[in-house]
Structure formats: C-alpha cells, structure tokens
Structure 1
Amino acid sequence: MTPRRIAGYLCVAGSFALILLLGYGVIDPIGASPAQATSMRDVLIGLMPSVLLALGTFAIGLWLLKGKK
C-alpha cells in the first residue's frame, strides 16, 4: 500500500470521527456557539465551519484514494 492510499484512508476516517465527535458533543463547533442561537438558521451557521472542515477532509481523502495510479 502506498503512502498516498494510507493518507487517503486516514483522511476519510478522520472526517467520520470529526462528525461523530461533533454529533455527540465531545468537541465544540469552530463557529459561534449553537447553544445561544435564537433560530435554526443561527445553529446551522454556527455548525457550518466544522462540517465544512470534515467535508473538505473527506473530499481530500477521496481524491487521494481515487487519484492517479
């Protein structure tokens, strides 16, 4: 297995772990605190940076896995 594939698998696993930790409340979101939000829009805006970080890590992992062989 090449280092590129290992890094790809680590990125995909890391993104899943980040989403699970956010979902269970183990880590706090990067954005504004959703606990003080007054509407669902504010909650989604507060969670957006963390979710986009996980999505970006997942996309990079897929790129590494499916890249040039």
Structure 2
Amino acid sequence: MSATKREEVCSHLRYIRLELREMHQMLIKEDLMPDLNEAKEVHAQLDALLNLLSEKRVKKIKSQF
C-alpha cells in the first residue's frame, strides 16, 4: 500500500474512532442514544474506508485476467 493511501486510511480510522468514542460516552455516561445522523455519518465513513481498501484488491484481480 502506498504511503499516501496508508495516510488516508489512518485518517479515516482516526475520525471513525473519535466518532464512535463520542457515541459510546453518550451511551455510558448520559444514557442517551446517539443522533441518527451521526450514526449514518460514521456508517458512510466506514463505507468510504471499505471502498478505499477494496479498490486495490479489485485492480489486482482485474489485472490477473
């Protein structure tokens, strides 16, 4: 994985981790459910990360044939 791609993945993971930590704190300390839009945003970030990681795999598979 190239350095820029690795940095991009790390950035996505840091952001997702912070968002999930905030949601967890809301659940534990305040006994509140996170906002639906916040959950959707984290889900979108996870999708973007999955797409970023699977691009390389798809390119490898296509180049073999």
The bucket for the TM-score relative to the shorter chain is 0.3 to 0.5
Structure having greater relative contact order (Cα 8 Å, sep ≥ 6)? 1
Per the normalisation by structure 2, the TM-score is 0.46
Name the one with the larger helix percent.
2
Larger Rg: 2
Per the normalisation by structure 1, the TM-score is 0.45
